[in-house]
Amino acid sequence: MAFETPSPTAKLSIQSLSKNYVIDQKALRVLLNIDLDVHEGEFVSIVGRSGCGKSTLLRLVSGLENDYSGTIQLDGKVINAPSLDRGMIFQDPSLLPWMTVRENVAFALVNQNIPKAEKDKRVLDLIDLVGLKGFESAYPKELSGGMAQRAAIARALVSQPKVLLLDEPLGALDALTRLRLQNELQRIWLQHRMTMIMVTHDVEEAVYLGDRVVIMDPEPGRIRRIVDVPLPHPRDRASPVLHAIRDEVLKDLTNGVVI
Ligand SMILES: Nc1ncnc2c1ncn2[C@@H]1O[C@H](COP(=O)(O)OP(=O)(O)OP(=O)(O)O)[C@@H](O)[C@H]1O
């Protein structure tokens, strides 16, 4: 594998984070007193009922929103604006349709003072890393959903972020592609050891990939419990320990009601 420069890792610290939105002149409490430390190179999954504030939490960490109380720090620096040290991947790959895969991936480097040869190498190495070698010149409309999301992953990695924030990144994919891309994400994470925080509705995915699974409660969004997944990576999907943890998280999410 050609992409050899490991991305720097980082410690993220969230303390007493609360967030309100104002709707119809009324305050809507979306997040309340979130405390979470994410260690260098850790993979943290976040699960919780729809509307409990998972995406809001990621947006605050990304810096896309900066109106909050409490503190969010990355390596000791307060986060209040987007930065290349935090990459984001959404459910919709949102590739620019008039650009090829190679141009889409390279786009984040346009204004960066990096020699062209180095930029080209970084882009091609990443396209290789995500398994799109041979599709460098393809346009988004020529890609399957899984391939487009691979390109989006390469695009997010190209600026070598310290933290990668993933908001339901595999949510729109068919079941088999989803499983395959879970393995790809795990492989990329193992290779780069960057800090990853992933929101997902799929408890199995959360437990399969995460070192810890954060379970959130709604109204207002808060952390109910954090479950450790003390298994080495890469993981075995058939592991009885993994299944037991999945069942425990599911039970917690459904308040003990068997579904
Ligand atoms: N820009 C906004 N303005 C006002 N309210 C918002 C805004 N964004 C989100 N909300 C509200 O904040 C709450 C949390 O939304 P958020 O999207 O963070 O939840 P979520 O847990 O990610 O949901 P889902 O799992 O359905 O994606 C919801 O009640 C939502 O209506």
Q: Do the beta carbons of residue 58 and residue 156 sit within 8 Å?
A: no
From the alpha carbon of 201, which atom of ligand 1 is closest? 25
| pLDDT recorded at residue 173 | 87
Distance 153 CA to ligand 1 centre (A): 24
pLDDT digit string, tens, across residues 224-241? 999 999 999 999 999 999
Query: What pLDDT band is residue 186 in, cutting at 50, 70 and 90?
Result: very high
Query: Ligand 1: which residue has its CA nearest to atom 23?
Result: 51
User: Looking at residues 157-180, what average pLDDT do you find?
Assistant: 92
Is this prediction's pTM over 0.90?
Answer: yes
Closest ligand 1 atom number to CA of residue 168: 27
22 lines ligand 1 (CB under 6 A): no
Q: Is 255 in the pocket of ligand 1 (CB under 6 A)?
A: no
Ligand 1 pocket, 32 CB below 6 A? no
User: What's the pLDDT at 2?
Assistant: 42
Nearest ligand 1 atom to the CA of 221 is 14
pLDDT band at 259 (very low <50, low <70, confident <90, very high): low
14 exposed, middle or buried (CB, 10 Å; 0-12, 13-18, 19+)? buried
Comparing C-alpha atoms, which of 183, 126, 3 is closest to residue 136? Answer: 126
Handedness of CA 184, 189, 192, 197 (dihedral sign): positive
Q: Are 230 and 188 in contact (CB under 8 A)?
A: no
pLDDT of residue 4: 42
Beta-bridged to residue 252, according to DSSP, are: none
Mean pLDDT of 156-168: 93
**Is 144 in contact with 131 (CB distance < 8 Å)?**
no
Whether residue 122 contacts residue 112, with contact meaning beta carbons closer than 8 Å, is answered with no
As a whole number, mean pLDDT of residues 154-158 equals 93
Mutate to test the pocket of ligand 1, among 21, 168, 219 (most ligand atoms within 8 A of CB): 21
Domains of the chain from N-terminus onward? 12-253 (3.40.50.300)
Q: Which helix (H) or strand (E) holds 93?
A: none
What the block records as the tokens of 59 is 């947006």
Protein residue whose Cα sits closest to atom 1 of ligand 1: 21
pLDDT above 80 for 9: no
For the chain, the average pLDDT equals 92
What ipTM describes this predicted complex?
0.97
pLDDT in tens, 88-140: 999 999 999 999 999 999 998 988 888 999 999 999 999 998 999 999 999 99
For residue 23 and ligand 1, the question of a CB distance below 6 A is answered with yes
